């Protein structure tokens, strides 16, 4: 699974531009029944040891937060907008890549010694920032990039202690778990979905749900951990090293209470470390899948991730293993 995660975190896939991630997924699911829908979701059906009377869907999103070029100044700087919920405090001075060529650049802003006292107290608005690609004219810049090009953080993955740091762990973690499970014998028939455009409104999940019509859907994710110095315990959401996260509710979904009890009870019986979220915030593809068509019973399983939606995210390798282990066990129970 970690080899998939390392590879996936090196591939750009800003919302609406997930093609390279999709190509990687397709390369690894070719032996199975895989289709790509009009939005670019990858849907894989794999038979298990027995047929299920219910349609079971496992979903993870391929896209990541990032930016999009909106214009180019006369002196060759790029103006841009956010794609997805971006933490503005975490982006100034970061190295990025732009467009199909992966043109390198650095996000900049007004020098601190020219900023007013009020400006120094807050993160600059994205409209005040620019991307410097090292050229000095609009003509040279236009030969390299264009408005509409996506921009992603240039953040090579690495391991530190028992943790893994990279960009796009939300939700390449879920994608890596799906790829691992697809490669294994399954206890029951399962449909897998690698969805697009989750970060801009769970758009891909809606079309997947109409096509698959799941009875039960499990959403695999990376979720916010705030177990950092200065954050009160009751505001930490979840913590690295605490095991897989099984939420009962978030900002978009009240998860199925029966599935929540079944999953947490199974984790207890198997001794799989698990935790829940102590803050109701965020959201997943479950929000759309739960209420599309005839509706579906939904649950989420996630790995806690620090610095979500930033240039570098941090996750615990053991937690990600717990996510894989519990998902595998739940499939055996659902069948």
If residue 82 lies in a helix (H) or strand (E), which one and from where to where?
strand 78-83
283 CB burial (10 A radius; 0-12, 13-18, 19+): middle
Residue with tokens 């199974």: 266
Alpha-carbon distance of 17 to 208, in angstroms, equals 18
Alpha-carbon distance of 35 to 205, in angstroms, equals 15
**For 172, how many CA atoms within 13 A lie in the half-sphere containing its CB?**
35
Given a contact cutoff of 8 angstroms between Cβ atoms, the answer to whether 88 and 138 are in contact is no
Given a contact cutoff of 8 angstroms between Cβ atoms, the answer to whether 335 and 188 are in contact is yes
Q: Provide φ and ψ at 47, rounded to 5°.
A: -75, 145
**How, if at all, do strands 297-306 and 216-224 pair?**
parallel
Angle, vertex CA 333, rays to CA 329 and CA 335, nearest 5: 120
Catalytic site residue from 18, 198, 206, 221: 198
325 is catalytic: no
**How, if at all, do strands 150-153 and 274-275 pair?**
unpaired
Pair of tokens at residue 97: 């890549």
Q: Which three-class secondary structure state does DSSP give residue 249?
A: strand
**For 144, how many CA atoms within 13 A lie in the half-sphere containing its CB?**
21
- Beta-carbon contacts of 113 under 8 Å, excluding residues fewer than 6 positions away, are none
**How, if at all, do strands 274-275 and 130-132 pair?**
unpaired
If residue 180 lies in a helix (H) or strand (E), which one and from where to where?
helix 169-182
Positions marked active-site: 198
């Amino acid at each position: 699974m970690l080899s998939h995660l390392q590879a996936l975190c090196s591939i750009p896939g800003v919302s609406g531009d997930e093609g390279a991630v999709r190509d990687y997924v397709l390369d690894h699911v070719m032996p199975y029944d895989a289709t790509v829908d009009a939005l670019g979701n990858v849907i894989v059906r794999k038979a298990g040891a027995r047929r299920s009377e219910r349609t079971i869907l496992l979903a993870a999103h391929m896209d990541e937060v990032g930016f999009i070029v909106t214009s180019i100044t006369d002196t060759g700087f790029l103006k841009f907008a956010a794609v997805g919920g971006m933490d503005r405090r975490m982006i100034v001075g970061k190295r990025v890549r732009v467009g199909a060529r992966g043109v390198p650049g650095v996000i900049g802003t007004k020098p601190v010694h020219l900023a007013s006292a009020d400006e120094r107290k807050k993160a600059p608005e994205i409209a005040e920032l620019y991307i410097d690609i090292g050229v000095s004219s609009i003509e040279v810049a236009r030969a390299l990039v264009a408005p509409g090009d996506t921009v992603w953080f240039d953040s090579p993955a690495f391991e530190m202690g028992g943790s893994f740091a990279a960009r796009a762990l939300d939700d390449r973690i879920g994608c890596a778990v799906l790829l691992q499970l697809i490669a294994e014998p399954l206890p029951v028939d399962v449909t897998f979905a690698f969805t697009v455009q989750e970060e801009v409104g769970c758009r891909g999940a809606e079309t997947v749900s109409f096509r698959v019509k799941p009875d039960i859907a499990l959403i695999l994710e990376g979720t916010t951990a705030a177990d950092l110095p200065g954050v009160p315990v009751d505001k930490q959401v979840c913590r690295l090293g605490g095991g897989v996260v099984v939420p009962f509710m978030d900002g978009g979904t009240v998860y199925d209470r029966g599935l929540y009890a079944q999953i947490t009870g199974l984790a207890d019986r198997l001794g799989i470390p698990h935790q829940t979220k102590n803050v109701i915030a965020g959201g997943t593809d479950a929000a759309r899948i739960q209420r599309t068509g005839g509706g579906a019973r939904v649950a989420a399983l996630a790995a806690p991730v620090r610095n979500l939606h930033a240039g570098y995210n941090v996750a615990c390798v053991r937690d990600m293993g717990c996510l894989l282990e519990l998902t595998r066990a739940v499939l055996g129970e659902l069948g």
